[in-house]
Amino acid sequence: MLTLKAFHIIFMVTWFAGLFYLPRLYIYHRAAEDRPSRERFETMEWRLWLIMTIGAGLTLISGLLLVALYWWPMPAWLHAKLVLVAGLIAFHAYCLRLNRLFREDRMPHSDRFLRWFNEAPAIALVGIVLLAVIKPF
C-alpha cells in the first residue's frame, strides 16, 4: 500500500506542477505583443498540457487503485476529496479549451480572470491535502 501511495503522490505532484504553471503561462501569453512570442507560448502551453495530462492520468489510475484496494467502502472524507479532484479534472479540461482559444487568437478572458483562474489549483490542493491527512469525517 505504501508504494502505491508514494507513486500516487509522485504523479499528483507532476500533475499539480502543470496545474500551477499552465495558467501562469496564459497570463504571460495574454501580455505578449509580438507573433513569435505568442507562437512560443502556444507551443509551451500545448507541451505542458500533454505532460500534465500524463500526470493526471497516472494520478487517477493510482488513486482508483487505492480506493479499490484499501478504502472500500469509501469514508466520507474521501467523498469530499473526490469532489475536489472532479473540480481539478474540469479545470484541466478547461485549460485545453483555453489552449485552443489562444491558438485561434480568440481569448475572451481578461488578465484579471486569468489571475484568479491561476489560484484555483492552490485552493483545491489545500483542501485535498487537509482532507487526506486530517480525515475530519
81 assigned to a ligand binding site: yes
Is residue 15 within 8 A of residue 55, CB to CB? The reply is: yes
Q: Is 107 helix (H, G, I), strand (E, B) or coil?
A: coil
- What's the rounded mean pLDDT across residues 87-93? 98
Q: How far is CA 36 from the centre of its chain?
A: 27
Check residue 72 and give its pLDDT: 81
Mean pLDDT of 41-68: 97
Calpha distance 45→102 (Å, rounded): 10
Q: Where are the domains of the chain?
A: 2-134
Dump pLDDT digits (tens) for 119-132.
Answer: 999 999 999 999 99
